[in-house]
Every structure is written in structure tokens, then in C-alpha cells.
Structure 1
């Protein structure tokens, strides 16, 4: 069982509690009474688990072990009879006390980061608020990955200086991307451009960490989804990428995408030689985030930033002010594939290889050519 012991998972299954105080789980359970086996995966899909499409009894945490792997859906139990949903993410009413809501977020993060064992641990650090919380709370070395002129490298350097921390910079080259793409595709089974662009910086920083002797990597995964970090959430209900009519509804839609994203990220990190550690995705942090009202996820212009733009992740930034200077707590940052310039440079490589932008999905075609 990945994540926690089988007794804890069995208790969660019997109670139906979707957030039983774990950092996620996946694996095989055997019913003590009937002796029947079942595969389980927690409500947010924080650990991947697969079985053969025609044989639930043949399973693995690694899809490359199987001939036709089918992921166990998040929140489900898979038996020979099929998949059954056991856990559903709660949808609590919006909190009415902003200060208490921020305190709850701060307390949950403080509790979960304090519980992280620093042995063999490094931190994936991009200089934004999510990874800076981990840097401030964990006694572990900081690593940033990106092309030399990337925003992530510059932001990480400035944030590390503000926190008075050493920083290892992993500077990327085109050769790094060309080497890593087939390895990521083999590990994740994905060739689409967006998945590969997101996985590349994670995979490459993890390889550097593993080469330096660390076997665990702290990551800020989940913060954008839980706390309102996406532009499409801030623009609800006017962004066509989401159906929700409210910011809270839009946040719930993007949280529902976590199982698919985390499957990719975990598989890429493990293929690079490290085990991910994601304190901001622990049940206790999730519980603190779900009741946040819309204005504590996204502050409208005039309520937050002076630039006239919406401020995202409002409650998380306020909670982080206990550990971070304001310059970091309020900092906006691009998504990792853009901040590291990996997406730009992969596009450049695709065009140099003859896959022009006028072609449909030219970067995905380039990725497929590297695998072939």
C-alpha cells in the first residue's frame, strides 16, 4: 500500500471518510472476511495505481509493468466486479470568518510541514509562494531548474537570498530536453505536448536531486488547484474552459483534475529516482482549503493587488505571511513549464526539426518523433 498502512485505508473504506487524515493512498486491500482483493485509490488520486484492463487481479503502481494498464479512478475501489466509488470530495459551505479561515490554513500547513522528515529530502524551489512555504518550513536544500534566462531561476535566486538560503541551480540545455522526452513518455505513457512540458522540469530537477544523493523531493503540488491559483478560476464564470458559475465552483472543477495531473507527476518523479513529498496536498490542508469563500481564493481588483488585477490564492498568501517576507508571499509566478522556459524551448526544438506552428499540434508531433 502506498501512502499509509492498510489498517488506515480499511478504516477509511468502512467509514466512507474521504479525508481521513492521510496524504493519500493507493494499493491492494484484502477483505478479512471474504478474502477477496480490491484495489483502492484515495479521493484526490495522490498515488497512482493500475491494473490490466481485462484483469483487475494483475496490478502495479507502475504502468510499465503491465501490457494494457488502466488507472484506478480516484475515490474508487476496483474489484473483479468493476469500479465502485467509495469516497467523494466534500463540498462544505463557505466560511464566514475570513481571519479564522486563514488561521485554519496556516495551522494545517504548519502541522503538516512540521511532520515531514527531512532525511534524504530536497525541495523543488521556483521562488513562488507555494515552494517558498516549503523552503521556509523544511530544513532541506533548495533546487531550481530552468534555462539560464528563465523567470524561475531569477525568482528562485531572489527568494533564496531573501530567505538567506543556499540554492542549487540546474541550468537546462536543448540536449537535456531531447534526452528526457523519451524517458518521460516511457514512464507516463503520455505524448501530448502539455503533459510533457509540465513533466520535463519536474523530471530534470528530480534527476539532479537524485544524482546528489537525495531520494525524496518536496513539491508544492495542489496549491494552485486548492487555493485558486489559476487564471481560469479567477475569470469564472467568463472563462470558456470551465463550466462553473462561481469562483468556488471553478475551484472545484480544477481540483477534479488533480488525479490525472498527479498520476503524471508521480510517475515522472519516480522515473527520475525520487519519491515526491507533497505537504500541501495532505487531507488536513485540503480540509482547510475547501471552505474558503470565493473572495479568499480570488480578490477582485481593488481588494487585493494595486495593479488592477485579481489577486489569486488570497488565503494562502495571508497564511504564508507568517513565514515569508511580503515580497515573496505576494509574488505572482508563471506555471513551471513557462517559468522555466521549457515550453518555449521545446517549441523551438520542434520548429527546428521541421514541425512548424502551422501544423496541428506540432509539439506533440515532435514529441512522438523523438520517441520513435
Structure 2
């Protein structure tokens, strides 16, 4: 796991001020009381260019059996590269290098920085050319004497944020370091984008946006075969990146997505001499806990569970807000079970965890998809599925990565491998969601699970969102009320969450509720106010949002309803 950050001065910033801000960013990004700080040793590498007013820093958690990575520079040390994640196809990069520059046992990152130095053009042009066709899960930054360019892969598998004022600009793997150095409004760099820092401003441009594929897989048999090849390769590729470790984890909910990944990882890891361990969190007798327990027993995988109650859920809420730097209701309720499971894995000494995120958008798994098909037609269904998939970075991946980051854990998303995505996007939607009565969906995905030996009990288990499968959704109302936040308070102070932010997180909140039970999916206003209050108290809001939340909390304080 790696955290990256950097600063670019727009004015003549003193050497002392540049170093002070960089140190403050590192201290905030990696506090001493964070779970990962206690368990693992950190390796810090930095480059400070006082002459040109810029700095790069990389903080890595040491991994058994591998030397710490430094900042990568080219032969003449005019370019520097830092990244979080993994670069897979080093041979593709090496093929672009001149023969004189190729070295034996060169890493993908070393090949990339040498290629950047060789390519013509300015820094933006070099980055665009070198990253085209690169297979990887990454967020990275490249600097020369005049600019810094930051970028994320086309699927957004690693988070990256940036901000600026009239004196300097900065970027980091999370928001808190940017807030701490005085940047009040932090922006997310979206998937497939790049941002160029110079002495005047930060310019954001499209780089590697996702494109729809030609639909050329029309039969179920061919879809399953192609999918099997791509997914098995994706799992092996990621295991090869961590072959130094003796165990890997899998997040297991007992649904088809996590069961299939658990099966593939368990089988492949055992062949490499690694132990696979499944982790599950939820309330007693919740569906996820029961299904996961039974599946793990049948598969023969080592399984650890954390059983939650209302008090434990309440304890986790501020920790989740701190980790994901967000107070959105959907983000928090989906993050609690994940946080509990990753927390358990981290305490168990597991550094690498496989996640089952991705199939619902790729293969048509949400239970409102057939209703979209019936009401608005197949073209609208395909549009919705594509829109949901392209929002995975901001709605799912950033949340999960930052929870993992807080625990010093590396997350892998094999369902979001480039080749897996290409296969899924080439399959006709008629094979995914067959009709408006098809509330199961994801048929090629489920058929592959059955082919791999997974019982239909799990392969054809109906989709449950994590907050419902773990039982967490139902207890948040009670927690908010016992802290003094109820519908009467919302009415008294005139609070509406839409007045804080108009952005809806998650397809259920954006539109899914219109096709299913509204009560199940609409955000309870008093719970959202409670979450906003917690984030406000911890200083985890952009300034504009903080001001709006503060206005309502002051009204609540004056009403003597809650202690702010």
C-alpha cells in the first residue's frame, strides 16, 4: 500500500515553507494512531526541488520479502515518477524503449520512467504516449522542472485528489492532507483523467476515458468461456504481484460475486503456496453472515467473522467517516461492514485482500434493472448500466481503497481487470438481463460460477446490497435517534440534505429507488443530518459544505435539541 502526494508552488515559496507543508501533509496522511501505523513499518521517499518550487513524496508500508520502493528517476534525473498501485505489462513498455536503454530485470516503473525520458514533446505529451495501452491499477504523478502531471487509470482503481489556491497547488491520495495545508476545496481526479500543474493553474483533461465496445458475443457458451479466460488470468496476474506473501484475504458476503472470487483465489493461491482467508462482518443471523459461513465450510477456506451489534456499528460510524472523508448516507452505510471486515483482516496480519466489486454494473445485477427494461426499454437499460459502471470510481472504489489505506491493506479488484471489462462490454445485454421479469440477472457471471463448481444456492442467490445483507441499514435509524437526531428535529430546523449537496451517491440513490421500494432506498433525512454533524465535528468537510452544515447545526443547538 502506497500513499503519494506533492506540492507545486505558483509563487516564490521559501524552502522552509515548502518543507513544512510537505511534512504536514505526510503527518496528516499517516497519523501515528492510525491502525496501519501500529502494525507496519513505513518507508518514506521524497524529492524537494527548492529551485523550481515543487516536491514529491511517497509513503509505502514495507512488505515482507520485498525491498522498499524509492521515487523513480530517469538516467539524467530530470524526470521523477511516483505511483500507487501496480503496473502489469512491463513488456509492452519495454518494447517501446530503444535497445540501448533496456536493462535486465528492470521493473515496470523503471521502464516507464525511462520511456518518459525518451519520448518527444512536453510532459503532458510524454505521459499520454507512455501510458497509452498500459495495463495497470494505478494513480501516479510525473514531474520535470516545469510541471507535474498526475493521472489515474481508465477505471479509477486508485484514488487521487488535488486542490489549489493563488499561492500553490497540491495533490494527494486522500483529502485530509490537502485540507490541513490550507486548501479548502478539494477536487477528485476522476478515472481516466490527468491534471497538469504549472506555475499558473491546474488544468484537468481527459486522457484515457472508457469507451463502449462493439457487441460481438451473442451466445451464452461463448460469453462464459471468454469470461472464464479473462477472470482467471486477472486473478493469477494479481497474485503474481504479491507472491512474496504467505497469505491473502477475500471479502466474503456469500453472494455470487464474492463466492466466485473466493473460489478462484483459494484455488490459485494454494497452488502458489499461499493461504487464502475469507473475512465477513455483519449483524447476527444477517443473510451475509449465514450464507458466507455455509459457503466457506463447503469450499474449505479458512473463514473469520466479526459479528456486530448496534453499539459496535455506532463505534464504527466515525471511523468510517474519518477513513473515507465523506458523510454521505449511502457511502457510510455501505462502508461500515467493509471497514469491520478489513479491520479484522488487518489485525490478523493480512496485507492483501481481494474484493468482489464490479459484476453488478458489468453483468446487470441490480434488481431495478429489469424494471428499467420494462418501463423504458433496452436502450435505456444499457445506458443506465454504462453510466453506473463509469461512476464506479467515485461511488465505490475510492471508498473501499481509503478504508483499506487506513489499515495498511492493499485491495485488488479482479472483476475490473481491463480484459474482464472488455469481455463483459462485448456481451449482448439480452444475455445479462433477459426480460422485465428477470430479477436475477448476471446470467453469464452466474453460469461461470456454476461451471467453476459453485453450488446454485450461492451462484443464483438474489442480489442484496451490502448494507442490507449485513443488517446494518436497519440499525442506523436507531443510532441517529438515540443521539438526538429525529424527523422532528429535521422539520424544526428546515434541514434538507439537498441543500448541502445535490450529488447523489450510488445508483440506488440516483434513480434506482424510483423503480423499487422508495422507503428501502431513499435517504432518511435525520440520519443524514446525524452523519453530517459527525463529519463537521471531525473537520472532514470542504469549506463550502462545512459552512452549510454549520448553519443547520447552529439552528439545532439553539433549539436545544442536540449538543453540537
Structure 2-normalised TM-score? 0.60
The aligned counterpart of 2:193 is 76
**Of 158, 162, 185, which aligns to 1:51?**
162
1:259 aligns with 2:393: yes
The aligned residue for residue 172 of structure 2 is 60
Distance in 2 separating the partners of 1:143 and 1:46: 21
- Cα offset for 1:224? 1.4
Please state whether the residue corresponding to 1:94 is helix, strand or coil.
coil
The aligned residue for residue 202 of structure 1 is 338
CA contact (8 A) 2:154 2:210 kept: yes
Counterpart residue number, 1:348: 478
8 Å CA contact retained: 2:218, 2:427: no
2:257 pairs with 130, 139, 147, which one? 130
CA contact (8 A) 1:75 1:86 kept: yes
* Cα contact 1:56–1:78 (8 A) shared by 2: no
What RMSD, in angstroms, separates the aligned Cα atoms of the two structures? 2.5
Q: Distance in 2 between matches of 1:96 and 1:333?
A: 25
TM-score for the superposition, normalised by structure 1: 0.88
Tell me if the contact between 1:236 and 1:245 (Cα under 8 Å) persists in the aligned partners: no
Tell me, in whole angstroms, the C-alpha distance in 1 between the residues paired with 2:374 and 2:155: 26
CA distance in 1, matches of 2:408, 2:191: 24
Query: What residue is the counterpart of 1:215 in the other structure?
Result: 351
Does the 8 Å CA contact 1:219/1:277 hold for their aligned counterparts?
A: yes
Gaps of 5+ in 2: 1-82, 88-107, 117-125, 267-275, 491-495, 497-524, 538-564
- Which deviations, in whole Å up to 9, do the C-alpha atoms of 1:46-89 show, x marking residues without a partner? 11011223378521112211123321122111013500101121
Gap change, CA 1:56 and 1:45, over 3 Å in 2: farther
Q: Is the 8 A contact 2:258 2:356 kept in 1?
A: yes
Contact 1:223 1:229 in 2 (8 A): yes
Residues 146 and 172 of structure 1 are in contact (CA less than 8 Å); yes or no, is this contact kept in structure 2? yes
Higher relative contact order (CA 8 A, sep 6+): 1
Residue matched to 1:14 = 129
In 2, distance between residues paired with 1:295 and 1:283?
22
Decide which of 84, 90, 103 is 1:2's aligned counterpart: 84
Call closer, same or farther: CA 1:82–1:105 in 2, change over 3 Å: same
Offset, 1:357: 4.6
- Residue 443 of structure 2: aligned partner: 314
* 2:142 corresponding residue in structure 1: 29
1:364 maps to which of 525, 528, 553: 528
Deviating more after overlay: 209-218 vs 35-44: 35-44
Tell me, yes or no, if the aligned pair for 1:76 and 1:83 is still in contact at 8 Å.
yes
1:100 aligns with 2:222: yes
CA contact (8 A) 2:450 2:456 kept: yes
CA–CA separation in structure 1 for the residues paired with 2:210 and 2:130? 14
How far apart, in 2, do the equivalents of 1:73 and 1:255 lie?
13
Pair 166,105 (structure 1): closer, same or farther in 2 beyond 3 Å? same
- Distance in 2 between the 1:269 and 1:310 partners? 32
Partner of 2:409: 274
Tell me the matched-pair count.
Answer: 360
Q: Is the 8 A contact 2:370 2:438 kept in 1?
A: no
1:91 counterpart SS class: coil
- The superposition leaves residues 251-287 of structure 1 with CA deviations (integer Å, 9 ceiling, x where unpaired) of 1011121110211221122113322111111111111
| Structure of larger gyration radius | 2
Trace 1:162-201 onto structure 2 (pairs within 5 A): 162-201=298-337
